Copies of this chain bind each other. A is one copy, B any other.
Amino acid sequence: MTSSTMGPTRQKRATIVDVAHHAGVSTASASKVLRNAYGVSDAMRERVQASMDALGYRPHRPARGMRGQTFTVGMMASDIENPFFSIIADGITSVLKTENYELLISTGGYDSASQNASVDALIDHQMDGLILIAPVVSGADLERIARDIPLVVVGRHSSSAALDSVSGDDDLGSALVVDHLVELGHRRIAFVANHQDQLEPDRPESVRLAGFLGAMDRHGLGGEAVVIDSRWSLEGGREAARIADTLEHPPTAVVAGADVTALGMLSELWETGRSAPAAYSLAGYDNSRTSSIGPIALTTVDQSGFEMGQAVGRLLLERISGRTESTHLLLEPQLVPRATTAAPAV
């Protein structure tokens, strides 16, 4: 550790008044040029633009927000650790930047209270719109938030009239996995459920479980479906693997609900000298980057997060522009078969 001294020499930034002076016009005109507003001559536009460039002018967002828009949208996610969130964010950004909007991200944690606080903070910052990634807040909370600010929710199978939603078709995703396993010859198949916050039926956890059960029924295997109650996390996956070992009629295949859960199961298997698909076939959900790594090679479901993000960005911009009818999109997932699923040992 080292130390030294220096007095900071902050220099004041150029304001719209400076620009107006420099260009010899009124601040109102400068503002109009800035906003690309109607009713400015080409000559005026050019002069003001030149002055802005010359002064290195950058508009002060809070000041803009006090009267009009901040041209910034906020995104709330439980954490910034989930690679899937990163891909969605990339998709969102790619759309937003075409309209010169910024994206600012706030981490909301894992419970309803702290996520609500995080949303409030974003609203307090005068965001023009909000994106909530797989929020755990109640449906009523979502309605309330949507009354205050344009809102798009990702990962909730909402049908609310007040907001837009975008999610993967988790029902279909589960079915794809079940079809794949049944085709390989499996009959007794388990699903690892996320017990925590099972309350909201429009959450992916619930829909994937329902999709699994429905698909099993369609194959006439309703009686062979096993549900393992655990949590969708690395540790939850480990626990699920331990539970699987205690089952009287052990499954020959396990649908993990989420990649991270499957990875936990792989870890537990590895620690007891076993592996998938030798112990049992194993499938995840999300096509996370880790799932593609050689020694893992996890069969999973891809959700095309980038396209999802693009849709989210587009919808939010539309809402900000005044659209009030709600739109709810369900994007088609894709099975990604890899090495952890195979025909059952006879």
Contacts and interface: CB of A to CB of B under 8 A. Distances in A.
A35 to B, nearest CB: 16
Interface in A245-277: 263, 266-271, 275
A1 to B, nearest CB: 6
Contacts of A162: 6, 8
Interface stretch (A24-32, A99-107, A193-201, A205-213): A99-107
Contact of A66 (B66, B80, B296): B66
Interface string A263-303: 10011111100010000000000000110111111000000
Nearest to A104: B104
Interface residues of A, number: 73
Interface string A106-123: 110000000000001100
Given A81-B86, A102-B121, A326 B269 contact: no
A interface, by DSSP: helix, strand, loop or mixed?
Answer: mixed
A321 interface: no
Contacts of A317: none
Interface string A130-164: 00000000000000001110000000000101100
A275 B289 contact: no
A220 interface: no
A3 B85 contact: no
Given A3-B327, A324-B8, A79 B70 contact: no
A19 to B, nearest CB: 15
Contact of A125 (B72, B80, B120): B72
Contact of A86 (B79, B267, B290): B79
A120 to B, nearest CB: 6
Contacts of A5: 161, 324-326
A9 interface: yes
A341 interface: no
A293 B263 contact: yes
Contact of A62 (B1, B4, B63, B159): B63
Nearest to A60: B124
A87 B126 CA distance: 27
Contact of A85 (B80, B161, B269): B80
A234 interface: yes
A124 B294 contact: no
B59 A80 contact: no
A108 to B, nearest CB: 11
Interface in A55-112: 58-63, 65-66, 70, 72, 77, 79-81, 83, 85-87, 89-90, 93, 102-107
Contacts of A268: 294
Given A61-B124, A270-B295, 16 more contacts: A2-B326, A6-B326, A59-B124, A62-B62, A62-B63, A62-B70, A86-B107, A89-B107, A102-B121, A104-B104, A125-B125, A266-B293, A270-B293, A270-B297, A275-B295, A290-B293
Interface of A: 1-11, 58-63, 65-66, 70, 72, 77, 79-81, 83, 85-87, 89-90, 93, 102-107, 120-121, 124-126, 146-148, 159, 161-162, 234, 263, 266-271, 275, 289-290, 292-297, 324-330
Q: List 3 A-B pairs, minimum CB-CB distance, nearest first.
A: A270-B294, A62-B62, A81-B86
